[in-house]
Structure 1
C-alpha cells in the first residue's frame, strides 16, 4: 500500500490566531504519525497561482491520512484554521 500525502496551500489572514490552529493540529499530526515533507519553505511560482504557505504531509497510507483528516480532533482544528485562513487541500496517494 503506497504512502499518502496531504498537499495543502494556505493564505493566512490572521497570523496570531492561526497559531491556535497549529496548537490544536500538531498533537493530531503526532497521533497519526504525520511527517512534514514540506513545511512552508522558500518557493518560486513557475506556472499558475499559489498561496502564501505550502505543505506536503506524509502518512503511512491513504487510510491513515483519511482517518487523521476525519478525526474529531482534526475537525476541531480545521474549524479554527478556516476562521483565519483559506486554502486548497488534497489527499493523494504516493507512487508505488
Structure 2
C-alpha cells in the first residue's frame, strides 16, 4: 500500500514540534549547571519581564553562551532553553 506523503510529513512535523523529552531536560539542566548560569542570575533567577516568550528565551540563552564563551551548539542552547522553560518560564504549557 503506498504511503501518503502529506500524512508522513504531518507525522514528522508533530514529532519535531512535540514537547521536549526528559533526556533533553536533563541535558539542559546539566549544561545550565556547568555553565554556572546562576552566578549571574542568582538574585532574581529568571523573569518573564525581559523574556516574554520562548523565542526571546532561546535568543537570550544563545547570547549568554556567546558572552561567556561556553561554546554551546544550537542543540545545547535549545536544551538549556527547554530546561529553563520547564523549570521557570512555562511558555510551553
Normalised to the residue count of structure 2, the TM-score between the two structures is 0.33
RCO comparison, higher one (Cα < 8 Å, 6+) = 1
Normalized per residue, the structure richer in strand is 1
Normalised to the residue count of structure 1, the TM-score between the two structures is 0.32
Normalized per residue, the structure richer in helix is 2
Select the structure of larger CA radius of gyration. Answer: 2
